[in-house]
Amino acid sequence: MESLRSKKYKKDFVNTFDGDETGDLKPRQTPGVLYSKAIPTPVERPELLAWSEELANELGIAKPTDQQDIEILGGNFITDTMYPYAACYAGHQFGNWAGQLGDGRAITLGEWELANGKTWELQLKGAGPTPYSRRADGRAVLRSSVREYLMSEAMHYLGVPTTRALSLVATGEPVLRDMFYNGNAAYEPGAIVMRTAPSFLRFGNFEMLNARKETDNLLKLVNWTIDRHYPHLTGEDKVLLWFNELVERTASMVVEWQRVGFVHGVMNTDNMSVLGLTIDYGPFSFLDNYDPEFTPNTTDLPGRRYAFGKQPSIAYWNLGCLAGALLPLITKDQLLPALETFKEIYWKKFYAMMGNKLGLDQVKATDIELIKQFEETLSAIQPDITIFYQLLIELPLFMRSEEEVEEHFRDSFYSDLKPEEKGALYTLISNYLERLNTNTIKRQDSQQRMRDANPRFILRNYLLHQAIEELEKGQNTLFQELQEAIKHPYTAKYDQFFAKRPDWAGQKAGCSMLSCSS
């Protein structure tokens, strides 16, 4: 275990590519470079609020033992071997080309080398302005920082590919935010998250270079990405092989989102990882009631481009944007067939995932209709999807009437079922039980498969909101409980949180309504 202050950091990215070395934080276009030097802006009173022991152990990072380590986490101290920078990238936002974006409130300190020789980037989010902050201040509020810290770790324990969070630090400084961009700005407590990943490269890094016709830089970045993060890919066709694998990784990631009911909320191409990781936690949410049209992002209304049910198609669209950025290096005739494999890969993985959620021995062609029937019926009834699947695990093998089925699932309903909904649910469960009777695996094995695929605890927005309100008052009891609960999502260890969204949270800001500032 090494301390943050004594580690000798690597800086392969900045040593490999051209960057703006001036350290000037003035917002501007930065053609010809892949990053700009950006020293974090010091804060008044950095205070460590949370530390991920498990992640620290995995990376070999010693827990801060003195104020100097905390000063690093707060952006107040930079060691001799660090080289803080903000990456330059572009992106399509809500379907429209946005041009240069870049790390507006994220600053990478350096690359932490593990014992096995691999490296992870350590990045501060909320550490002050960079050349890519545009008109913003580069800061983050406690509200958004708590959400990212807890959710990125929660996703890890759910088994979803994700960036992770090492620490949460209060800055001791107020930050002015207009939560819903409606003219009601207010000061909120500031905070900084240290987030980590093998790489924070996005689709937008490659889009930026293509848009500027910097083909040499584009080729150099593609080769560097492959050599560093896909070293098993070699030969003259390695760029095509890389794109193929990224298509597969992205499909796998979104299937996992759909499995646990995660809604990203802002799937812009600059928020898509080239490692197939969930990245940039903003206006996200887990589903409460099962609504494929649900989007947690007020900025996404009324079109609901990033609604839960649209995430697969948006991932495909985003991959198409990346394919377009790679056209200077590989032909359209090669890229298009690779892109089109997304659909087959996604649906194959999706149906396999649903088979596990339903406890099937295998997914046969005839099971596709049953899975579609689940989708249609649950969309109509809109039960609490997490609770519904937990009740499905314990479903008796004989259900004789609509009333019996309704009673079994009653705790998952947000409203009383209409007569036609009762009938649809009874038909669905009857068909499901008939299919279970053909299973070639034992009942207990089927149920275990379901327990492994269906989380019992999810980090609901209203729980996050309550924890944030407590922290703002100087209390951390709920926050600490949630920090432990996220580590056990498939058990009943924290069943005090096994409950539907309360009525008060249905329309409360910060619970059901979020913005990109979240």
pLDDT reported for residue 507: 79
Contact 484, 478 (CB under 8 A): no
- What residues have CB less than 8 Å from 465, skipping those under 6 apart? 505, 508, 510, 511
pLDDT grade for 518, boundaries at 50, 70 and 90? low
In 3D space, the residue among 197, 199, 225, 196 whose CA is nearest the CA of residue 325 turns out to be 225
Percentage of the chain exceeding pLDDT 70: 100
pLDDT reported for residue 329: 98
pTM recorded for the entire structure: 0.97
pLDDT grade for 183, boundaries at 50, 70 and 90? confident
Percentage of the chain exceeding pLDDT 90: 94
Average pLDDT over the chain, rounded to an integer = 96
Q: Are strands 164-177 and 186-197 parallel, antiparallel or unpaired?
A: antiparallel
User: Rounded distance, CA 264 to CA 212, Å?
Assistant: 29
Report whether pLDDT(185) > 90.
no
User: Rounded distance, CA 456 to CA 196, Å?
Assistant: 27
Report whether pLDDT(18) > 70.
yes
Report whether pLDDT(508) > 90.
no
DSSP state letter for 34:
S
pLDDT reported for residue 459: 98
In 3D space, the residue among 69, 75, 74 whose CA is nearest the CA of residue 6 turns out to be 69
Report whether pLDDT(365) > 90.
yes
Can you read off the two tokens belonging to residue 232?
Answer: 């098993």
What's the chain's length in residues? 518
pLDDT reported for residue 509: 78
207-239 pLDDT tens trace:
999 999 999 999 999 999 999 999 999 999 999
User: Rounded distance, CA 169 to CA 192, Å?
Assistant: 5
Work out the average pLDDT over 149-172: 98
Annotated active-site positions, please?
270
pLDDT grade for 512, boundaries at 50, 70 and 90? confident
pLDDT grade for 179, boundaries at 50, 70 and 90? confident
Residue predicted with more confidence, 506 or 36: 36
Name the E strands within 447-491: none
User: Rounded distance, CA 141 to CA 105, Å?
Assistant: 11
79-116 pLDDT tens trace:
999 999 999 999 999 999 999 999 999 999 999 999 99
pLDDT reported for residue 182: 74
pLDDT grade for 517, boundaries at 50, 70 and 90? low
Contact 405, 399 (CB under 8 A): yes
